[in-house]
A and B are shown apart, each in its own frame.
Chain A
Amino acid sequence: MYLERKKKDGWSPYLAGALVGLLAIASAWATTQFMGKTNYLGASTTFVRAAGLVEEGIAPEHAAGNVYFTKTKIKVDWQFMLVLGILPGAFIASLSDRSFKLEAVPPLWKSYFGPSVAKRALAAFCGGIVAMIGARLADGCPSGHGLSGLMQLSMSGFVAMACFFGLGILTAHFIYRR
């Protein structure tokens, strides 16, 4: 019983996190070795490239005229594949300990705001817009600024993480008050 519960709980976050630390080192080395350029873990730039690819499909002239897309270069690069790879990685991990579960509304959200998928969808969609505008303005998310920035002791990483968590804590307490 105890072992079964252990299995469902996954690995210790300290262990899984430490392994991500090793992965970050290995990946900085491997990208330098095989691509000639050191790449650090990150995710949010890929969302710009994804938006760019969509716009190239529906309004190519508009996308071509955008300075930010030109600057970011719309292409399926190393980070794009990294972000895509997270999906099968998480899928395999969740199958391996049977924690895969189809879920329409997160249980915590449901306990506060009910089972409406539309309500959750609207909140997640609006939150996503605000968060991504912020991440691009700050030039990174918890992966790029948080993990990679702090590993390199970047000043911007420390300030960004303080803002992420500072406003995150305030906003979460406002949303989930009572």
Chain B
Amino acid sequence: MGTEQILGLITGILFGFLLQKGRVLRFEKQVGAMLLKDMTILKFMLSAILVGMLGILFLADAGVFTISHKPMNVGAVVVGGSLFGMGWALMGFCPGTSIGALGEGRWHALFAIAGMVVGAAIYAELYPWLSNTLMTWKDFGKISLPSALGLSHWLVAVILWAITLLMFYFFEKKGL
């Protein structure tokens, strides 16, 4: 193992530890969010995003590292994202949490993991065709929300903080 692998492993162990402590690895929490009955995973994700956003925007502004947006390819993101949503609801895990669920003894996650490895192999076969069809619709490239809106990224960050805090207030008030 080189530095890269050791660094990845340490990060993964910490990530898995926090995912488990936040109780977001549970099938019930994932499906509960999609049934709009238990917002644990949203509280967890949005908290991570709010905190991470500040550090990443600040350090990117300071030139410590660079932002890397994934391309806004309309066909790929919308169709792919929708397929993911359907599969996620049926499976009850996402890629990262399936591995963590196995770690806390929920061994039925193995079936989800096997399905995802097969899905990746199928995607690899479909890729040449998809890249000539769906992916050619419209590609806006690697854009950010602030640039699309023509606003400063700090202003967008403040707005997102405000919206998210309101959502948290709502979740707690409704006991979700």
Residues of A within 8 A of B (CB): 9-25, 27-32, 34-35, 38, 40-41, 43-44, 46-48, 50-52, 54-55, 66-69, 76-94, 97, 99-109, 117, 120-147, 149-173, 175-176
Of chain B, the residue at the smallest CB distance from A80 is: B8
Instruction: Report the bound CA distance from A122 to B118 in whole Å.
Output: 13
A99 to chain B, nearest CB (A): 7
B129 to chain A, nearest CB (A): 11
Given A90-B104, A108-B28, A153-B144, answer yes or no on A133-B70 (Cβ-Cβ < 8 Å). Answer: no
Instruction: Report the bound CA distance from A31 to B4 in whole Å.
Output: 8
Instruction: Report the bound CA distance from A16 to B23 in whole Å.
Output: 9
Given A128-B116, A155-B148, answer yes or no on A89-B91 (Cβ-Cβ < 8 Å). Answer: no
**Chain B residues with Cβ under 8 A from A19's Cβ?**
18
Given A127-B90, A129-B115, answer yes or no on A24-B52 (Cβ-Cβ < 8 Å). Answer: yes
Instruction: Report the bound CA distance from A113 to B27 in whole Å.
Output: 14
A170 to chain B, nearest CB (A): 8
Question: Do A16 and B44 have beta carbons less than 8 Å apart?
Answer: yes
**Chain A residues with Cβ under 8 A from B93's Cβ?**
124
In the A-B complex, the 8 residue pairs with the closest CB atoms: A85-B12, A128-B115, A89-B16, A131-B87, A21-B51, A163-B81, A167-B85, A134-B83
**Chain A residues with Cβ under 8 A from B142's Cβ?**
154
Of chain B, the residue at the smallest CB distance from A107 is: B28
Interface of A is mostly: helix
**Chain B residue total in the interface (Cβ 8 A):** 127
Question: Do B20 and A90 have beta carbons less than 8 Å apart?
Answer: yes
**Chain A residues with Cβ under 8 A from B69's Cβ?**
149, 152, 154-157
B162 interface residue, CB < 8 Å from A? Answer: no
The B121-170 residues at the A interface (CB cut-off 8 A) are 121-128, 130, 134, 140, 142-148, 153, 156-157, 160, 168
**Chain B residues with Cβ under 8 A from A120's Cβ?**
108, 111
**Chain A residues with Cβ under 8 A from B91's Cβ?**
123-124, 127-128, 131
**Chain B residues with Cβ under 8 A from A124's Cβ?**
90-93, 108-109, 111-112, 115
Instruction: Report the bound CA distance from A94 to B119 in whole Å.
Output: 29
**What are 7 A-B contacts with C-beta separation under 8 Å?**
A23-B15, A43-B94, A87-B102, A124-B111, A127-B88, A137-B76, A171-B89
A91 to chain B, nearest CB (A): 4
Question: Do B52 and A38 have beta carbons less than 8 Å apart?
Answer: no
Q: Which of B82, B87, B90, B96 contacts A86 (CB 8 A)?
A: B96
The B1-45 residues at the A interface (CB cut-off 8 A) are 1, 3-28, 31-36, 40-41, 43-45
Instruction: Report the bound CA distance from A132 to B84 in whole Å.
Output: 7
Q: Which of A99, A106, A161, A170 contacts B28 (CB 8 A)?
A: A106
Q: Which of B18, B51, B56 contacts A28 (CB 8 A)?
A: B56
Q: Which of B44, B65, B77, B121 contacts A32 (CB 8 A)?
A: B65
Question: Do B43 and A13 have beta carbons less than 8 Å apart?
Answer: yes
Instruction: Report the bound CA distance from A138 to B43 in whole Å.
Output: 24
A59 to chain B, nearest CB (A): 10
Question: Do A17 and B8 have beta carbons less than 8 Å apart?
Answer: no
Instruction: Report the bound CA distance from A145 to B4 in whole Å.
Output: 22
Of A108, A128, A150, A175, most buried by chain B (CB within 10 Å of CB) is: A128
